[in-house]
Amino acid sequence: MNKKHVFNAGPCILPQAALDASIEAIKDFKGTGVSLLCISHRTKEWDATMDECRALWKELLHIPDDYEVIFLGGGASLEFLCVAMNFLEKKAAYLDTGVWASKALKEAKAFGEAYAIASSKDKNYTYIPKDYEIPTDLDYFHITTNNTIYGTEIKTDIDCPVPLIADMSSDILSRPVDVSKYTMIYGGAQKNAGPAGVAFAIIKKDALGKVTRYLPTMIDYRTHIDKLSMFNTPPVFSIFVMNETLKWLKGIGGVEAMHKINLKKARTLYDEIDRNSLFVGTAVPEDRSIMNICFVMAPGREDLQDEFVAFSKER
């Protein structure tokens, strides 16, 4: 097979080790004589995979003992709703840094007072807002740490006087994170941690159960914590591939090693974008993402775009 580079915002390019293990598991899952795609999620072999995957998340991100990791269906888009239903009692604020942040805010407005505390929409989301204060009467403050479309990223853990909830779909496992500063971290696995079909959530357990509304069983995060993400049939294939990806990540040195790799790759690209008069970066330099590097042809050079794309395909 002639492998090619893929520069989509997602799905991510999975490590070859994860792909190879998945192929074998589809043929025969752990010597059971049954394909991974046909295995019961109630078998001891699958229990071991779920346990290993949870343990790897906790190890790689140094997750404190009072948090739990759960695996869910529906992607991050469903979690926009679930977050609000589980945590929003009266009022929440959102940092509007792009299309995904605005979609999360839209869902929250159905369950209480939810508003954008600050927004960079005025400049097409090319920067991260910084001139704002977080009120202390919020149920939570929500951020989207990486914005794939616009190439911006919140690259450090912010200090927050209220529960902090973060959509880290596209930069989870790319850099060290102090999980203890967050009440919840969630995202779709397909940007960094595995294939589409499973979402992850890291939740501080004692933060749940505070809202007075009725929570449907599948929406209540406590259901999935109590049942170890197996209240219903989990997306076994997606979780298996995610587990193999985490094993690979641990093998190369973990999140800390991956962060160094990402910084080096991003620096190489940004240096060329800044050096080359053909291109201009779209994000303000201080907020540039190390995950999604966005650039366009420089003013007056737009007519060369098709030629550049053709040149890139040849290379």
Count structural domains, the chain. Answer: 2
Write down how long the chain is.
Answer: 315
Is 213 inside any structural domain?
Answer: yes
Give the β-pairing of 164-167 and 140-144.
parallel
Q: What is the DSSP string of the chain?
A: --------SSS----HHHHHHHHHHHH-STTSSS-TTT--TTSHHHHHHHHHHHHHHHHHHT--TTEEEEEESSHHHHHHHHHHHHH-SSEEEEEE-SHHHHHHHHHHTTSSEEEEEEE-GGGTT-S--------TT-SEEEEESEETTTTEE--SPPP-SS-EEEE-TTTTTSS---GGG-SEEEEEGGGTTS-TT-EEEEEEGGGSS---S---TTT-HHHHHHTTT-SS---HHHHHHHHHHHHHHHHTTHHHHHHHHHHHHHHHHHHHHHH-TTEEESS-GGGB-SS---EEEPTT-GGGHHHHHHHHHH-
Catalytic residue among 96, 100, 171, 204: 100
In the chain, the amino acid numbered 207 is A
The answer on 237 and 198 residing in a single domain is yes
User: Across-strand partners of 115?
Assistant: 93
Last residue within a domain, chosen from 230, 251, 272:
251
Q: Are residues 78 and 71 in contact, defined by beta-carbon separation less than 8 angstroms? A: no
The answer on 288 and 206 residing in a single domain is no
The answer on 93 and 54 residing in a single domain is yes
pLDDT in tens for each of the 315 residues of the chain?
777 777 777 788 899 999 999 999 999 999 999 999 999 999 999 999 999 999 999 999 999 999 999 999 999 999 999 999 999 999 999 999 999 999 999 999 999 999 999 999 999 999 999 999 999 999 999 999 999 999 999 999 999 999 999 999 999 999 999 999 999 999 999 999 999 999 999 999 999 999 999 999 999 999 999 999 999 999 999 999 999 999 999 999 999 999 999 999 999 999 999 999 999 999 999 999 999 999 999 999 999 999 999 998 887
The answer on 303 and 185 residing in a single domain is no
Given this model, what pLDDT does residue 312 score?
87
Is 3 inside any structural domain?
Answer: no
Is 10 inside any structural domain?
Answer: no
pTM of the model: 0.96
The answer on 262 and 167 residing in a single domain is no
Look up the domain containing 279 and give its range.
254-314
Is 20 inside any structural domain?
Answer: no
Q: What is the CATH number of the domain that holds 84?
A: 3.40.640.10
In the chain, the amino acid numbered 241 is V
The verdict on whether 313 is a catalytic residue reads no
The verdict on whether 167 is a catalytic residue reads yes
Catalytic residue among 46, 96, 191, 287: 191
The answer on 163 and 76 residing in a single domain is yes
The answer on 104 and 210 residing in a single domain is yes
Given this model, what pLDDT does residue 128 score?
98
Given this model, what pLDDT does residue 158 score?
95
Q: Are residues 142 and 92 in contact, defined by beta-carbon separation less than 8 angstroms? A: yes
The answer on 260 and 245 residing in a single domain is no
The answer on 291 and 169 residing in a single domain is no
Q: What is the CATH number of the domain that holds 272?
A: 3.90.1150.10
The answer on 265 and 178 residing in a single domain is no
The answer on 282 and 168 residing in a single domain is no
Q: What is the 3-state secondary structure (H, E, C) of 171-232?
A: CCCCCCCCHHHCCEEEEEHHHCCCCCCCEEEEEEHHHCCCCCCCCCCCCCHHHHHHCCCCCC
Catalytic residue among 167, 171, 220, 287: 167
The verdict on whether 100 is a catalytic residue reads yes
